[in-house]
Chain A
Amino acid sequence: MTEPVGYDDVKPGAELAPASYPVTRLSLVKYCGASGDFNVIHWNERIARSVGLPNVIAHGMFTMAEAGRYVTDWAGPRAVVVEFGVRFSSPVVVPDDDVGATIEVSGVVAEKLEDNQVVLVLTARSGGEKVLTRAKAVVRLP
């Protein structure tokens, strides 16, 4: 976790330090249970392949959650997320091994708005592919 940021300290164009988050088959099983999304493509390789996927894939919402974690870690406990949106451009493919996959998130302060709000534009990659596009968070900073 980085030091909490204040609105006055943030400059448009500032790049946030990138971060990496692991995702394994166990992550997906836990996420199935916690979220209630038991879609078979997130835990059954046989069915995932039978419907044309390369392997089991992570829930898009798991990837979005890691991007959200990136935002809240950067913004600190006194900040509030006002808006958060993503497009899932490519699946995070999670092999059945002890390593799994990695989601790499980076971000930039795209704009400062009124009312202490800033716009963050995020990038998330896994396995060399962009897994999120149009990823944007609006955060109200202290």
Chain B
Amino acid sequence: MPQGAPEASGSHMVINRDYVGRTFAGGEPYEVSRVKIAEFADAIGDPNPLFRDRGAAQAAGYPDVIAPPTFAIVISMASTARAVADPGLGLNYAMVVHGEQRFEYSRPIRAGDVVTTRSTITDIRDAGRNVLLTAQTEIRAADDEHVCTAHNTLVERGGAA
């Protein structure tokens, strides 16, 4: 068991509440490409030209194609995954479902952005038999420009101590 973890009841893993407040740097910068934005837009079935056509994006006042609002999850999740996959946290990923998600945007993410992330585990608490884990990820472009803050709540079903 990781240091500081509550005592396990039975044999299932128990989440380590000492991880609240921990911040995880996002590693290498993420380069947002037109191809990735188009792939994401295709996957969600969204034909909006702002996500594919540079001319359409420029006509709307952007330097290049922009990403759909929820594209930020691609970047924020890679960052939170660092925390969530940490074996010391003790989260059973097969039992995890997404509880809540919220984004605050300073501007749309766009092709050509090179962004860095920082994720913080802001809360771990029981809700009935489940455990709720909340993480916050800041996405910043060059010169530390704030682009988006993502708030992510994961539910580990049956994970309560």
Partner of A68, one of B39, B42, B68: B68
Q: Given A35-B40, A35-B74, A68-B68, do A77 and B50 touch, yes or no (CB 8 Å)?
A: yes
Q: What is the bound-complex CA distance between A138 and B75, given in angstroms?
A: 21
Q: What is the bound-complex CA distance between A33 and B42, given in angstroms?
A: 11
Q: Which of A8-16, A81-89, A108-116, A120-128 contacts B (4 or more CB under 8 A)?
A: A81-89
Among B49, B69, B108, chain A packs the most CB atoms within 10 A around the CB of B69
Q: Which residues of B contact A27 (CB under 8 A)?
A: 43, 45
Interchain CB contact under 8 A, A88 and B107:
no
Q: Closest approach, in angstroms, between the C-beta of A5 and any C-beta of chain B? A: 15
Q: Given A39-B93, A71-B69, do A34 and B102 touch, yes or no (CB 8 Å)?
A: no
Interchain CB contact under 8 A, B42 and A77:
no
Docked complex: A40-57 residues within 8 A CB-CB of B: 40-41, 47, 51-52, 57
Q: Given A51-B95, A88-B99, do A61 and B73 touch, yes or no (CB 8 Å)?
A: yes
Q: What is the bound-complex CA distance between A40 and B95, given in angstroms?
A: 10
Q: What is the bound-complex CA distance between A81 and B147, given in angstroms?
A: 12
Query: Nearest residue in A to B103 (C-beta to C-beta)?
Result: A84
Q: Given A35-B40, A73-B48, do A81 and B69 touch, yes or no (CB 8 Å)?
A: yes
Interchain CB contact under 8 A, B70 and A68:
yes
Among B45, B102, B151, chain A packs the most CB atoms within 10 A around the CB of B45
Q: Given A31-B43, A35-B77, do A78 and B61 touch, yes or no (CB 8 Å)?
A: yes
Q: Which residues of A contact B104 (CB under 8 A)?
A: 82-83
A: contact size bracket:
35 or more
Docked complex: B147-161 residues within 8 A CB-CB of A: 151, 157
Interchain CB contact under 8 A, B100 and A87:
yes
Q: Which residues of A contact B49 (CB under 8 A)?
A: 77
Q: Given A34-B39, A68-B70, do A86 and B107 touch, yes or no (CB 8 Å)?
A: no
Interchain CB contact under 8 A, B44 and A66:
yes
Interchain CB contact under 8 A, B108 and A80:
yes
Top 10 A-B residue pairs of the complex, sorted by shortest distance between their CB atoms: A85-B102, A60-B98, A34-B43, A65-B44, A77-B60, A30-B43, A68-B69, A65-B70, A69-B46, A34-B40
Interface of B toward A, CB cutoff 8 Å:
36, 39-40, 42-46, 48-50, 56, 59-61, 68-70, 73-74, 77-78, 93-105, 107-108, 151, 157
- 24 A-B residue contacts at CB 8 Å? A21-B45, A27-B43, A27-B45, A31-B44, A34-B36, A34-B74, A35-B77, A52-B157, A57-B97, A61-B98, A65-B44, A66-B44, A71-B69, A72-B46, A72-B48, A72-B69, A73-B48, A81-B69, A82-B104, A84-B69, A85-B100, A85-B102, A86-B100, A88-B97
